[in-house]
């Protein structure tokens, strides 16, 4: 059980061959999240990296959302060398990570919730992880990179159970899944597809913490676990 939770914390479990192909095709997507300490706010938070992109037949992307599925402000954007790589740093008390892998028209989807665990003997708390949705071998018979590009951001793959029954993505996460479905078709991606600060608005800082991270949407894990 502990090994399973550790694996889920790292994101989609991909074979060495899959990781090698993604690297060779120039797609870098950073799935792991980490627990970090904010000295000014005197608390622990979770840090993640929005990242990824696509080539014509392959795509992988990681983004983050609030617990209600709404967009979360990033700490700051990242201008990376090249494309299909890092796009932004996200920090919050609780993060929902959404990760998708696309191979042609087949999709893998993992939605997980992450928060700092209990502090014991003054040690850094462990990263707690809960799987909210796991979609295997989903299908979407559209080419969002080319002829069906006008539908990008409006559609999402269909997933099925092992028995062949359709499995519905939780309603609160359908908006972000539509966004990440577009992201895994974004050839030469160089921008965020979901998280990010509002245009023309600088992220406000309160005691060294972005204001969005102090909202009711990011409550302490003990209040919602």
Query: Quick one: which of 171, 103, 78 has its CA closest to 132?
Result: 171
> Any residues with CB less than 8 A from the CB of 134 and at least 6 apart, and which?
109, 110, 111
88 pLDDT above the threshold of 50: yes
State residue 210 phi and psi, 5-degree precision: -50, 140
Query: Quick one: which of 115, 77, 124, 78 has its CA closest to 96?
Result: 115
Query: What average pLDDT does the structure give for the chain?
Result: 86
Q: ∠ CA 85-189-181 to the nearest 5 degrees?
A: 105
Convert the pLDDT of each residue in 92-115 to its tens digit.
999 999 999 999 999 999 999 999
What is the C-alpha to C-alpha distance for residues 92 and 72, in angstroms, rounded to an integer?
Answer: 9
What is the C-alpha to C-alpha distance for residues 194 and 99, in angstroms, rounded to an integer?
Answer: 12
- Confidence (pLDDT) at 8: 63
Convert the pLDDT of each residue in 138-171 to its tens digit.
999 999 999 999 999 999 999 999 999 999 999 9
132: tokens are 């909210």
Convert the pLDDT of each residue in 112-121 to its tens digit.
999 999 988 8
Neighbours of 136 (CB within 10 A): 14
- Confidence (pLDDT) at 120: 84
215 pLDDT above the threshold of 90: no
What are the residue ranges spanned by the domains of the chain? 2-224
216 pLDDT above the threshold of 70: no
Residues forming a β-bridge with 225: none
Q: What's the Rg (C-alpha) of the chain? A: 17
- Confidence (pLDDT) at 93: 96
Neighbours of 11 (CB within 10 A): 20
Sign of CA dihedral 113, 20, 53, 212: positive
Q: What is the mean pLDDT of residues 13-23?
A: 95
**Contact status, residue 114 vs residue 121, Cβ threshold 8 Å:** no
């Amino acid at each position: 059980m502990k090994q399973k939770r550790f694996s889920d914390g790292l994101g989609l479990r991909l074979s060495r061959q899959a990781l090698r192909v993604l690297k060779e095709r120039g797609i870098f997507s950073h799935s792991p999240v980490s627990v970090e300490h904010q000295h000014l706010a005197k608390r622990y938070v979770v840090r993640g990296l929005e990242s990824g992109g696509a080539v014509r037949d392959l795509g992988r992307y990681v983004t983050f959302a609030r617990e209600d599925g709404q967009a979360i402000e990033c700490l700051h954007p990242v201008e990376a060398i090249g494309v299909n790589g890092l796009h932004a740093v996200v920090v919050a008390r609780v993060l929902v990570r959404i990760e998708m892998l696309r191979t042609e028209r087949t999709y893998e989807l993992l939605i997980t919730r992450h928060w700092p665990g209990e502090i014991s003997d003054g040690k850094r708390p462990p990263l707690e992880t809960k799987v909210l949705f796991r979609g295997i071998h989903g299908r979407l018979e559209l080419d969002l990179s080319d002829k069906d590009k006008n539908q990008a951001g409006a559609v999402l793959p269909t997933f099925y159970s092992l028995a062949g029954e359709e499995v519905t993505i939780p309603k609160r996460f359908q908006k972000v899944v539509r966004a990440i479905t577009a992201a895994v078709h974004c050839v030469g991606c160089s921008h965020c597809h979901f998280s990010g600060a509002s245009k023309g608005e600088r992220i406000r800082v309160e005691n060294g913490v972005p204001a969005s991270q102090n909202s009711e949407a990011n409550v302490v894990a003990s209040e919602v676990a």
